[in-house]
Amino acid sequence: MTVKPRRQFTDEFKAQLVELANGGRPVSELAEEFDLNASLIHTWRRKDSKQPQLGSGGAGAVGDQDAADELRLLRRQVADLQLENDILKKAAVILGTKPQPKSGR
């Protein structure tokens, strides 16, 4: 089996391909013309995009950058605390103790 060496592309080349794709040329046509995988061009377009992305970064908080960063941090902390709480509940069941009832707040 022959292994192709990994090709590296310059930022200018990536920017030109993204510009062509954004200009209306089909990604599949560009991929075939430049002997690339279409998903690679899609990845470059996604990275070039200035729009917030869904995924590990959250839903893309809108507003002041400091507020957006703080919101992302707080969401991450809430998720971590919920995970820790679930783990403690499971541990309590395994050890035979009853979890504390929720307070009426």
Specify whether the CB–CB gap between 44 and 14 falls below 8 A: yes
Specify whether the CB–CB gap between 72 and 58 falls below 8 A: yes
Q: Which letter does DSSP use for residue 9 in this model? A: -
Interval 39-90: pLDDT, tens = 999 999 998 876 454 454 555 545 578 888 899 999 999 999 999 998 998 8
Spatial neighbors of 84 by CB under 8 A, at least 6 apart, are none
Q: To which residue do tokens 């060496």 refer? A: 5
Kindly report the pTM of this predicted structure: 0.45
Instruction: Give pLDDT, residue 52.
Output: 53
